[in-house]
Structures are given as structure tokens and as C-alpha cells.
């Protein structure tokens, strides 16, 4: 007996052999994939099983967002077309003014509705009140990988100092399926505090998710303050390793790329956010050549505005052809970019054994894309179609951990209308506290989100 047979569509597995089944099926039982193969074969093997008809569709692994700040949906559109310093002034002031566990829960709920509609089934997240985000994700049937957040700023929204946050962290980690700690960066936490967070991660077998080298000002600030650049400092402190994910990693030296590769750490590449905030173009081809596991992230809905990974996929596949020295149309490419949003993204954030590809034994995280669309016709190459033509509007069904959470473009686990209304009401309390276009001079500082 199986719980669901997704059948009749083309299946792109993203496994090690990049297996593609033109008329395929995926069998799901107890939240796991139990069989992948031709539709006729699996139909005969599992007669009478509940089905999800995928004829005329493409079935792909659930997308993995390797770096996000989900609750920033509340602040979307409040800091556009500004430099990093103005961006930060507006955001930090707004967060301090309005954030609470209830606000974060509502904003994450909206983020998950958007993500599920875009075929995202897993997101690595970093934000205040992570317990509220985890509660919203559990209700929605979404895999949100997050945990205790550490960031030294004046008047933190949760009102906790570092010692209190460290003391409370084990309780949250004990209740988390995938354990993760999220120290913000090497410029918002001193080395002794980074070491304390790293020890917390080791004690609880947790992943460690941290910003590193996002912009040039950050790298120079850390070098002046500590005598080492961000990645060099993380290496010196022993924070680089197979369980570490570096968000952004834009400004890297050859030596730092070598340190990341040798350590086994992963990188979350966020090309759309990096472009919008003029942070720079990451050295993605060099990272990939060095064997660094790289995933794709959206960043927050303030710096990138959308939680749709199809934008980063397209940017990763095209940007580096002209942004990495001599123009080269073979750099990165469609297949590599799609794998960065699926199996390689899962590997980068430390959960490659669980998700990222359609393989027997892995979590049943699947997306069904409707191919009966003008911009997806004709269907010569599924990798190219995904990287250069497909978008969130093409997602028809989303399955997470064996549970159908979007069917025929209808959300089944989130009241979308209520989520929109709640965040819009919260945004109304925010207006007037956040400076809009044409605001006067602001204090300049390095980016801290």
C-alpha cells in the first residue's frame, strides 16, 4: 500500500545520474519516496493507489531556498532603490518598533504561502523569534530550517541580551527536527560570542548558518577590527566545517575560497539580492570549481522582494557569464543552476541525505509544473526550460514530506486570504514609522541583515 502515486508526467529526478523519465511516476508512502519509474510499471505495481495526475506536467524535486529571512515579508517595499546604509537604517528601525512573536508568526505564514506557490519546500531561515516561525511552518506543513538567532544590536526586538539568548537556546533546539543555530555575522558578534555559539552548535549537533563577506564594507570592517577578513576569522575560530553555511560570500579571496572548500562548508548564493543592493557579484564559478557545495537563496523579501527561487536560478545561470571576467556562455549554465536550487542546495545547507532530489528513501518533496503554457512550448530540454522559461505561476502542485500542500494551484494548509489581510493590517501600523522615498540623510553603517 502507498499513500500517493504522482503519475503520468515527465520526472526530472536531479539524482547523481540526472535521471529523466519521460512518462514517469513517483510512489510515496509514510512521507518517503518508495519508487520512481515508468508510469505503466508503477501503476501495475500499485493498483488502486490514490493518484495525483501529472499528465502534461513536469515533476521536479521541491526547491530549496538556502538563505531567507521569511518574516521580512512585512517590510517588503519599504527600502527599495537605496544604498545599503539607507536600507539598514529603515529596516532596523522598523524591526525594533513592531516585531513580536505574533507579528513574526503572521509574516512567516504569508512567506510560506508565497514559497509553496513557487514550489519551495525547504528554506534555511534566520530571523528574530524563530520559535514563532517554526510554529507557522509546522501548521503549514513546510520545512523551515532555523533556530536561535544571535545578533548584538541596540534594543533587540526580543529584548534578550546575549547571555539570556544563549541560556534559552537549548530548549528551542530540543524541540527542533533539524537543529540549527544562526549567529548573524562576524561584525555583529565578537569572537568570544561566536565561539560560544559554535560550542552550542557542537553540543547539540546543530547546523550553523551565518552571513559572511556580503559586501566590501563588511569585509574591510572585520579586517580592521579583528585583523582578519570574515572567512579568515571564521576559519581561525574553528567555525568553518561541513555543518556551516555561509550566506552570500560575495567578496572572497582565492585563499578564502580554498579555506571554504577544504573545510566542507557550504555557501548560499543570493544573486538577485546581491544585485539589487549593489553588494557585488559572487565568485560562483570559482567556488564551484573548488568543489564548494553551493545553494541558491532569495534573502529577505526586503532586499529581493520575492521568495520565488526561479529568479535566482535564472540569475545564477546567466549573470556569471559576464560578471566573472572574460565573457563565457558556458559558465554555470541551466543544469548547474537548477541543481543549486534542488539537490546541491540541500547538500549546501547540510540536509542532502533528506531532500533535494527524487530518490527512493528521501523525503517526498515534489513540485508539479504545468507545461501547457505558451512560454514552455516546445519542450526540448527540461533543464533549460526550468532555468530560462519557467516561473512560480507554472507551479500547479506542491508536495512536502508526502503531504499535498498545494493542489491545482489551491493552498490546502494556509488560509491565503486571511494571511494577506493580517499582514496588510500589520503593515498599516508600520506606515509612518518607516521613512519612505525622499527621506532625508541617514546615518551610514555597514549592512547588518
Backbone angles phi, psi at 142, to 5 degrees: -110, 145
In the predicted structure, residue 440 carries a pLDDT above the cut 70: no
Domain match, 302 and 185 both: yes
In the predicted structure, residue 448 carries a pLDDT above the cut 50: no
How far is the C-alpha of 294 from the C-alpha of 337, rounded, in Å? 10
The stretch 387-410 carries a mean pLDDT of 98
Domain match, 52 and 68 both: no
The stretch 284-288 carries a mean pLDDT of 96
CATH number, domain of 281, equals 3.20.20.140
Of 191-195, 299-303, 433-437, which range is least confident?
A: 433-437
Domain match, 24 and 166 both: no
In a domain, 424, yes or no: no
The stretch 240-245 carries a mean pLDDT of 97
pLDDT band at 442 (very low <50, low <70, confident <90, very high): very low
Domain match, 49 and 86 both: no
Of 348, 370, 389, the residue that ends a domain is 348
Backbone angles phi, psi at 201, to 5 degrees: -60, -45
The stretch 359-388 carries a mean pLDDT of 97
Counted residue by residue, the chain has a size of 449
In a domain, 173, yes or no: yes
Report residue 205 as a C-alpha cell: 549537533
Domain match, 10 and 113 both: no
pLDDT band at 88 (very low <50, low <70, confident <90, very high): confident
Domain match, 12 and 76 both: no
Domain match, 258 and 110 both: yes
pLDDT band at 82 (very low <50, low <70, confident <90, very high): confident
In the predicted structure, residue 224 carries a pLDDT above the cut 80: yes
Instruction: Compute, in degrees rounded to 10, the torsion defined by CA atoms 199, 200, 201, 204.
Output: 120
How far is the C-alpha of 206 from the C-alpha of 183, rounded, in Å? 12
In the predicted structure, residue 422 carries a pLDDT above the cut 90: yes
Domain match, 46 and 168 both: no
Residue range of the domain that includes 244: 63-348
Residue 419 is predicted with a pLDDT of 98
In the predicted structure, residue 311 carries a pLDDT above the cut 50: yes
Bridge partners, residue 125, by sequence: 68
Count of domains for the chain: 2
Let me know: does 194 contact 230? Beta carbons within 8 Å. no
How far is the C-alpha of 381 from the C-alpha of 386, rounded, in Å? 9
In a domain, 439, yes or no: no
How far is the C-alpha of 229 from the C-alpha of 253, rounded, in Å? 9
Q: How remote is the C-alpha of 5 from its chain's centroid? A: 28
In a domain, 446, yes or no: no
Report whether the peptide linkage leading into residue 145 is cis, meaning its omega lies within 30 degrees of zero: no
Domain match, 40 and 166 both: no
Containing H/E element for 114?
Answer: helix 101-117
In a domain, 431, yes or no: no
CATH number, domain of 49, equals 2.30.40.10
In a domain, 387, yes or no: yes
Share above pLDDT 70 across residues of the chain, in percent, rounded to a whole number: 95
Helix (H, G, I), strand (E, B) or coil at 378: coil
- What contacts 49, CB < 8 A, 6 or more positions away? 1, 2, 3, 4, 5, 27
Query: CA dist 18 to 59, 75, 336, 342, Å?
Result: 13, 39, 11, 12
How far is the C-alpha of 85 from the C-alpha of 444, rounded, in Å? 5
Domain match, 393 and 303 both: no
According to DSSP, the β-strands at 266-269 and 63-68 are unpaired
Backbone angles phi, psi at 101, to 5 degrees: -60, -40
Residue 323 is predicted with a pLDDT of 62
Domain match, 136 and 266 both: yes
In a domain, 294, yes or no: yes
Q: Mean pLDDT of all residues in the chain?
A: 93
In a domain, 46, yes or no: yes
In the predicted structure, residue 441 carries a pLDDT above the cut 50: no
**pLDDT 10s digits, 35-60:** 999 999 999 999 999 999 999 999 99
Task: Compare 155 and 208 and report the one with higher pLDDT.
Answer: 208
Helix pair angle (230-237, 254-263), 10° resolution:
40
Task: Compare 434 and 66 and report the one with higher pLDDT.
Answer: 66
pLDDT band at 434 (very low <50, low <70, confident <90, very high): low
The stretch 222-250 carries a mean pLDDT of 97
Residue 79 is predicted with a pLDDT of 86
In the predicted structure, residue 444 carries a pLDDT above the cut 70: no
Task: Compare 321 and 58 and report the one with higher pLDDT.
Answer: 58
pLDDT band at 437 (very low <50, low <70, confident <90, very high): very low
Considering the entire predicted model, what is its pTM?
Answer: 0.95
Domain match, 406 and 342 both: no
Q: What count of Cα atoms within 13 Å lies in the side-chain half-sphere of residue 21?
A: 25
Helix (H, G, I), strand (E, B) or coil at 225: helix
Residue 324 is predicted with a pLDDT of 61
Amino acid at each position: 500500500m502507498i499513500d500517493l502515486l504522482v503519475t503520468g508526467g515527465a520526472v526530472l529526478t536531479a539524482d547523481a545520474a540526472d535521471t529523466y523519465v519521460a512518462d514517469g511516476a513517483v510512489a510515496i508512502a509514510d512521507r518517503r519516496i518508495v519508487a520512481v519509474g515508468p508510469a505503466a510499471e508503477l501503476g501495475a505495481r500499485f493498483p488502486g493507489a490514490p493518484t495525483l495526475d501529472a499528465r502534461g506536467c513536469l515533476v521536479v524535486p521541491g526547491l530549496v531556498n538556502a538563505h531567507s529571512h521569511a518574516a521580512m515579508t512585512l517590510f517588503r517595499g519599504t527600502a527599495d532603490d537605496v544604498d545599503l546604509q539607507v536600507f539598514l537604517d529603515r529596516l532596523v528601525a522598523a524591526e525594533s518598533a513592531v516585531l513580536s512573536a505574533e507579528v513574526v508568526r503572521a509574516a512567516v505564514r504569508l512567506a510560506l504561502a508565497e514559497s509553496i506557490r513557487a514550489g519551495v519546500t525547504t528554506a534555511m531561515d534566520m530571523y528574530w523569534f524563530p520559535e514563532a516561525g517554526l510554529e507557522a511552518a509546522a501548521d503549514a506543513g513546510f520545512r523551515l530550517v532555523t533556530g536561535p538567532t544571535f545578533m548584538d544590536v541596540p534594543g533587540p526586538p526580543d529584548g534578550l541580551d546575549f547571555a539570556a539568548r544563549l541560556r534559552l537556546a537549548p530548549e528551542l533546539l530540543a524541540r527542533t527536527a533539524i537543529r540549527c543555530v544562526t549567529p548573524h555575522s562576524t561584525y555583529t558578534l565578537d569572537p568570544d560570542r561566536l565561539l560560544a555559539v559554535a560550542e552550542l552548535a557542537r553540543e547539540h549537533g546543530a547546523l550553523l548558518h551565518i552571513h559572511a563577506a556580503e559586501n566590501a564594507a563588511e569585509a574591510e570592517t572585520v579586517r580592521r577590527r579583528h585583523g582578519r577578513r570574515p572567512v579568515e576569522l571564521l576559519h581561525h575560530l574553528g567555525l568553518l566545517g561541513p555543518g556551516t553555511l555561509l550566506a552570500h560570500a560575495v567578496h572572497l579571496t582565492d585563499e578564502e575560497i580554498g579555506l571554504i572548500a577544504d573545510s566542507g562548508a557550504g555557501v548560499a548564493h543570493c544573486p538577485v539580492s546581491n544585485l539589487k543592493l549593489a553588494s557585488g557579484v559572487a565568485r560562483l564559478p570559482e567556488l564551484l570549481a573548488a568543489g564548494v557545495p553551493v545553494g541558491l537563496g532569495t534573502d529577505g523579501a526586503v532586499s529581493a522582494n520575492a521568495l520565488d527561487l526561479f529568479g535566482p536560478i535564472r540569475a545564477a545561470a546567466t549573470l556569471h557569464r559576464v560578471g566573472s571576467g572574460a565573457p563565457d556562455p558556458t559558465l554555470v549554465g541551466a543544469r548547474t543552476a537548477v541543481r543549486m536550487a534542488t539537490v546541491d542546495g540541500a547538500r549546501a545547507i547540510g540536509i542532502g541525505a533528506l531532500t533535494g532530489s527524487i530518490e527512493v528513501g528521501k523525503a517526498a518533496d515534489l513540485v508539479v509544473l504545468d507545461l501547457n503554457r505558451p512560454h514552455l512550448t516546445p519542450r526540448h530540454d527540461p533543464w533549460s526550460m526550468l532555468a530560462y522559461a519557467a516561473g512560480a505561476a507554472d507551479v500547479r502542485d506542491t508536495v512536502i514530506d508526502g503531504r499535498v500542500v498545494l493542489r491545482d494551484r489551491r493552498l490546502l494548509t494556509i488560509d491565503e486570504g486571511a494571511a494577506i489581510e493580517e499582514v496588510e493590517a500589520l503593515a498599516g501600523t508600520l506606515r509612518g514609522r518607516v521613512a519612505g522615498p525622499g527621506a532625508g540623510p541617514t546615518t551610514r553603517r555597514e549592512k547588518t541583515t
